Amino acid sequence: MLRNSPPGSADVAALERKATLLRRHMLTMARGQGQGYIGQGLGIADALAALYFHELRYDPHNPAWPDRDRFLLSTGHYSIALWATLAEAGIIPVEELVTYGADNSRLEMSTLDTTPGVEVIGGSLGHGLGQGIGQALGLRLDRSDARVFVELSDGEMQEGSTWEAAMSASHFELDGLVALIDCNGIQADGPVVLNMEPVADKWRAFGWETFEIDGNDMKAVVDALAGARQRNRKPKAIVLRTLPGKGVPRIETSEKSHFFRIDVAQWDGIIAEFHKSMGTRQ
Amino acid sequence: MSGGGIKAGRTLAMGQDEAVGGGRQSVEAPFGRALARLGQSRHAIVGLTADLGKYTDILPFRDAFPDRFFNVGMAEQNLVAVAAGLARTGKVPFATTYGVFATRRAYDFVAIALAHSNLNVKIVAGLPGLTTGYGGTHQAIEDLALMRMIPGLTVIDPCDATEIEAATEAIAEHQGPVYMRLMRGSVPVVFEPGYKFEIGKARRLREGSDVGVVATGFMTERALDAAEALQQRGISVGVLHVPTIKPFDAAAVTEFAASVDHIVTAENHVMVGGLASLVVESLFEAGIAKKVTRIGLPDRYIECGAVPTLQAKYGLTTEAVVATITGLELA
């Protein structure tokens, strides 16, 4: 049973190494299919490392433990990052990662909830936050102190249901609910199609206690999560400013970082570039 | 307003003008009362609404269990999403709104958040078909068709107060997502106490040899009354009540069809995609070639007006059913 670690106890360097490991898994997975939502995955890796290896409480041997903290990936197409994380967390086998996106694999390109550790079907954007609110209300009725973390994205905020949910979370005073808003500046049609700024002000105006940080700065992520532990009758929003493709300069600078499809030979180049940038070895 | 549907002095608001039933006893808020009763023994039941608690009869539940009731405001996508989340923590959410909003506004959530995951959420939807005079914005005339397309969703159109109470119990017991049409306020009693409702089962309420009416929702009441009137004129009319649109009791329909010369379908819904389509599909699949005459709403949005006026104009009254059957060329 993993308890969430005490605030201030985070080993930032160790979490950074975990994030690097998650990125390595993701690059291997994307190489296998020659495609994937790798840009988003690399961008959110630090937040997922901080959540699963410091912040969340869960039992890898019993993913359905009723008192677990929930993590809902609302952007189902970020699944590549979730699979890598669930594998490192011991919820699914690491060896299974190579099946990402293959026929009959349960590690889909967009999450379904049939795989252990998945708390929501996240592919249709704008679904996660409302379902997180329902789970938080249910946990409160059960007098559980488990918390609910919902990842959503800047593009996803364009779905009106996001704001229906945002209104109700503060109304219901769900202080065990934490929204992690991945602002990576890209969406399907390219760089942000509809301006969502000022993002943090919007969440504040909807009654959320809001943090805005560099989502690729592990210390900042850990500190924001620590701040979000307060039970002060307000839901928490952490605006993560992330770099899509973080760790691979070629993807970081790509206009096409929403969905990446290249041939296998080039993936080898990308992986080499990643190791060079991270100072790690293949 | 005819019959025992609306009591004198009752305030009508928000399209609250449905008057179904001719001179029958009625029960106030059968759904809300049944749910409040069930809530006593079933602690997992929670109630939700999207600012239509008063108009969907769920307030008896709220008053009995205020901690287990959530009003999310005018936000039907969120209504369904929150209900889905509650179901994932083991609750049995009953979420109410109008049929138009549960379908047209929240469809992706009903399909993906509920049905795809087979979550145990019951949507109870007011103002089905022509039970409001507020026009196309409020009349759920195509909800049965929309909802029956969703894999794994159970779809129910009850006839009267007795059936609403029985169906509320049955869907609370059933594991899985449900869409149930609601008749609210003073709802007529057509069926005797002890009437048994079973999800997925049609019931033969009256035997007849000339014409067989397959009916759902309150049209079953009209069909029964029409059959009685037609008996006087020497036309023998049977009535099969099909309260569950999905899963559809095709076996009961084909068996019923075999016993009559002519089939009439009757639904408070557009004639496309709902009961009539299901009956025809069932007969076709079973290789039964019989003439089918459809009673239902045309393929267009309906204007505003008083409910009795609209029901008469669009052929949903007992008199209209009698006229349709009398006009058939019977062998």
ipTM of the complex: 0.96
DSSP-derived secondary structure letter, B148: H
Among A12-21, B6-15, B57-66, B186-195, whose mean pLDDT is lowest?
Answer: B6-15
**List of chain B residues whose C-beta atoms are within 8 Å of the C-beta of residue A133:** 78, 81-82, 85
**List of chain B residues whose C-beta atoms are within 8 Å of the C-beta of residue A127:** 81, 108-109, 112-113
**List of chain A residues whose C-beta atoms are within 8 Å of the C-beta of residue B73:** 164, 167-168, 171
Report which of A196, A262, A268 is spatially closest to residue A39, judged by C-alpha positions: A262
Report the distance separating Cα B158 and Cα B162, nearest Å: 9
pTM (two decimals): 0.95
Contact A168 B78 (CB under 8 A): yes
Statement: residue B223 has pLDDT above 80: yes
Domains of chain A: 12-278 (3.40.50.970)
- Shortest Cα distance from A113 to chain B (angstroms)? 7
Contact B77 A164 (CB under 8 A): yes
Task: Determine which of B46, B51, B89, B108 to mutate to test the interface with A (most A C-beta atoms within 10 Å).
Answer: B89
Contact B72 A164 (CB under 8 A): yes
Burial of A280 (0-12, 13-18, 19+ CB in 10 A): middle
| Mean pLDDT value across residues A232-257 | 91
Q: Select the more confidently predicted residue: A268 or A15.
A: A15
What's the pLDDT tens digit per position in A99-124?
999 999 999 999 999 999 999 999 99
What's the pLDDT tens digit per position in B98-151?
999 999 999 999 999 999 999 999 999 999 999 999 999 999 999 999 999 999
Q: Give the one of B70, B75, B80 whose C-beta lies nearest to A137's C-beta.
A: B70
Q: Give the one of A134, A165, A168 whose C-beta lies nearest to B86's C-beta.
A: A134
What's the pLDDT tens digit per position in A52-87?
999 999 999 999 999 999 999 999 999 999 999 999
| Mean pLDDT value across residues A25-31 | 93
Local confidence band at B4 (pLDDT 50, 70, 90 cut-offs): very low
**List of chain B residues whose C-beta atoms are within 8 Å of the C-beta of residue A129:** 81
Q: Residue ranges of the alpha helices (H) in chain B?
A: 30-41, 59-64, 76-88, 99-100, 107-108, 143-148, 161-173, 219-232, 250-258, 275-285, 307-313, 318-326
Distance of alpha carbon A54 from the chain centroid: 14
Q: Is B66 on the interface with A (CB under 8 A)?
A: no
Q: Give the one of A66, A127, A139 whose C-beta lies nearest to B109's C-beta.
A: A127
Statement: residue B16 has pLDDT above 50: no
Local confidence band at A3 (pLDDT 50, 70, 90 cut-offs): low
Task: Determine which of B82, B101, B105, B108 to mutate to test the interface with A (most A C-beta atoms within 10 Å).
Answer: B82
Statement: residue A239 has pLDDT above 90: yes
> Which pLDDT belongs to residue A35?
79
Q: Is B95 on the interface with A (CB under 8 A)?
A: no
- Shortest Cα distance from B277 to chain A (angstroms)? 30
- Shortest Cα distance from B58 to chain A (angstroms)? 19
| Mean pLDDT value across residues A22-35 | 91
Local confidence band at A259 (pLDDT 50, 70, 90 cut-offs): confident
Local confidence band at A157 (pLDDT 50, 70, 90 cut-offs): very high
Domains of chain B: 26-188 (3.40.50.970), 203-326 (3.40.50.920)
Q: Collect all residues with Cβ–Cβ distance below 8 Å to B248 and sequence separation of at least 6.
A: B148, B200, B242, B278, B282
Q: What is the mean pLDDT of chain B?
A: 93
Query: CB contacts < 8 Å between A and B, how many?
Result: 96
Hey, what amino acid is at B108?
D
Contact B89 A139 (CB under 8 A): yes
**List of chain B residues whose C-beta atoms are within 8 Å of the C-beta of residue A170:** none
Report which of A270, A209, A280 is spatially closest to residue A239, judged by C-alpha positions: A209
- Shortest Cα distance from A53 to chain B (angstroms)? 24
Local confidence band at B3 (pLDDT 50, 70, 90 cut-offs): very low
Output the six-digit token pair for B157.
């159109």
| Mean pLDDT value across residues B155-178 | 98
Please give the share of chain A, as a percent, with pLDDT higher than 70. 98
> Which pLDDT belongs to residue B5?
35
CB B20 within 8 A of CB B183: yes
Q: What is the mean pLDDT of chain A?
A: 93
**List of chain B residues whose C-beta atoms are within 8 Å of the C-beta of residue A126:** 77
Statement: residue A93 has pLDDT above 60: yes
> Which pLDDT belongs to residue A2?
60
Statement: residue A186 has pLDDT above 50: yes
- Shortest Cα distance from B120 to chain A (angstroms)? 13
- Shortest Cα distance from B220 to chain A (angstroms)? 37
Contact A135 B88 (CB under 8 A): yes
> Which pLDDT belongs to residue B193?
84
> Which pLDDT belongs to residue A4?
63
CB A177 within 8 A of CB A148: yes
Contact A133 B85 (CB under 8 A): yes
- Shortest Cα distance from B163 to chain A (angstroms)? 30
